[in-house]
Amino acid sequence: MIVVGVERLVRFKLQSWNAFAPGLESHHAWREWLLHPSDLSSELGKTSLKQIPPMLRRRFTELGRCAAGAALPLLEGIDSIPGVFASRHGDTPLTLSLLEGIAEGEPMSPTGFSLAVHNALSGLLSIARKDVSEVTAIAATENLIPSALIEAVTQLQDQPRVLCVIYDLPLPELYKPYSDSTPFPCAVAMILSREEGDGFILQSDNGPSSDRDQSGDFMTLLRLLNGLESSVVFGSSLTRSRWRMSPE
């Protein structure tokens, strides 16, 4: 529900969540790592994705494997659920390889082209799961996580539950001077529900801005989900609006 006024605020219930990064695939592993952080690989490495038939699995790029790795365990036993798929930078390694091919005058791979669109991953999952529920793909320069959550909460008006998947990769070296990005592949999947789960509040925040960049927002969310913080603020000194999230 959205309360109109100076304070913008949404409430929702979180039925389940799962997160994925190199070597971190369980709630327990995440909690341990957040308490005792160490450097993670900037590449995802091997993933099984055993839920996806092999002929479709070959279409999942590193970004897709990361997001699917987070989402699929939550979807066991769920035949149909609408999804919000959010990534700030999208599949930049794939896009860059296509652009380099154009620069060299090579004909473009139809497969590569079809997978480079922002909603390709939601399409692949839809085919693999034979789930024709609506999907929404979001890219946001600022406030990716709050934007994805607000979209998912809004869809709860029509649906009893909504899948929300937020995922990004480190930018290729060529792009790094121009923008910040997550230091390692990371994906968080959440099922938001009208009825079931732990209550959360997401509201606009007017407090002093932090001096960090947005690349920390994934860890901010995960610290909250793991119960290591009672309230967190997304965004950076550069973002124009900031959002606070806390348990209800």
Partner 1 sequence: MSNLQLEIKQMIIETLDLEDISPGEIIDDEPLFVDGLGLDSIDALEIGLALQKRYGIKLKADSEDTREHFSSVNALATLIESQRVS
Alpha-carbon dihedral sign for residues 222, 189, 69, 96: negative
37 binds partner 1 (CB under 8 A): no
Task: Tell me whether residue 8 or residue 59 sits nearer to partner 1 (CB atom).
Answer: 59
Tokens 């899948």: give the residue. Answer: 163
Alpha-carbon dihedral sign for residues 46, 47, 50, 51: negative
Own/partner long-range contacts of 53-56 (Cβ < 8 Å, ≥24 apart): 53/128, 56/124, 56/127, 56/128
CA distance 51 to 76: 9
Binding mask 214-243 for partner 1 (x = CB under 8 A): ------------------------------
Helix (H) or strand (E) holding 10: strand 9-20
Task: Tell me whether residue 93 or residue 247 sits nearer to partner 1 (CB atom).
Answer: 93
111 binds partner 1 (CB under 8 A): yes
Specify the stretch interacting with partner 1 by CB under 8 A; choose among 1-9, 104-112, 137-145, 190-198. Answer: 104-112
* Binding positions for partner 1, 51-80, rule CB under 8 A: 54-55, 58-59
Side chain identity, residue 243: W
- Which of 5, 37, 77, 107 is the binder for partner 1 (CB under 8 A)? 107
Token pair for residue 149? Answer: 């959550």
130 binds partner 1 (CB under 8 A): no
Give the residues lining the site for partner 1 (CB under 8 A).
54-55, 58-59, 107, 109-111, 114
